Structure 1
Amino acid sequence: MARILIVDDSPTEMYKLTGILEKHGHEVLKAENGADGVALARQEKPDAVLMDIVMPGLNGFQATRQLAKDPETSAIPVIVVTTKDQETDRVWSQRQGARGFIVKPLEETSLISELNAVLAG
């Protein structure tokens, strides 16, 4: 299926997301912070990125903006996966270049549905 990069500093969320994605046949790449996520996306060119927002150093908004503005990675869809569920967070995510937004705790069906939608374009 697809190669998905998870960028999240929570081992619990990383484990949960990895399990769901692998169950659905996806290959998983992992980064524990925004800077490593941007570097790995540039290097590996995944099919999509699942991006947490609240991380030390480069946060998810900043990392998403870097990926969206870089010609090498701008075609890679980013889905924000966060506990921040305000409308302003959703709008700000879109302004940074995110193509999807999911609130934690996430449900498997909503994650796969959102992922399929961004992969289909």
Structure 2
Amino acid sequence: MSRILVVDDSPTEVHVLKTLLERHGHEVLTATSGEEGLAQARSGQPDVILMDVVMPGLNGFQATRQLAQDEATAAIPVIVVTTKDQETDRVWALRQGARDYIVKPVSEPDLLARLGDVLGR
């Protein structure tokens, strides 16, 4: 299926998303910080990135902006997956270059549908 990069500093959240995605046949790469996510995106060239917002160091908004501005990663769609549920956060994420925005906890059918949308399936 697809190669998906999960960027989240919560080991529990990474485990939940990785398990769900692998159950549906996806290859999953993981990163626990924005900086690590940028490096993984450049080296692993995933089909899509699931990006948390609240992380130490480079946050998800900053990482998404850098991905969108880098020629090597600009074509990789980013879906922000976060607990931040304010409309201003959603708008800001989209302005940074995210293709979609999902509020945690993530429902399996919703996540799979949105992945299908950004991957053109």
TM-score bracket relative to the smaller structure: over 0.9
TM-score, normalization by structure 1 = 0.98
Alignment of 1:104-115 (within 5 A): 104-115=104-115
Partner of 1:100: 100
Measure the CA separation in 1 of the matches of 2:104 and 2:39: 25
TM-score, normalization by structure 2 = 0.98
Long gaps (5+) in structure 2: none
Cα displacement (A) at 1:14: 0.3
Cα displacement (A) at 1:23: 0.8
Alignment of 1:1-121 (within 5 A): 1-120=1-120
Percent identity at matched positions? 66
Deviations 1:28-80 (A, max 9, x none): 00000000000110111100000000000000000000000001100000000
Measure the CA separation in 2 of the matches of 1:10 and 1:44: 21
Quick one: which amino acid aligns to residue 112 of structure 1? L
Deviations 1:72-111 (A, max 9, x none): 1000000000000100010000000000110001100111
Runs of 4+ in structure 1 over 3 Å off: none
Long gaps (5+) in structure 1: none
SS in 2 for 1:6: strand
Cα RMSD over matched residues? 0.8
SS in 2 for 1:72: coil
Say how many residue pairs are matched: 121
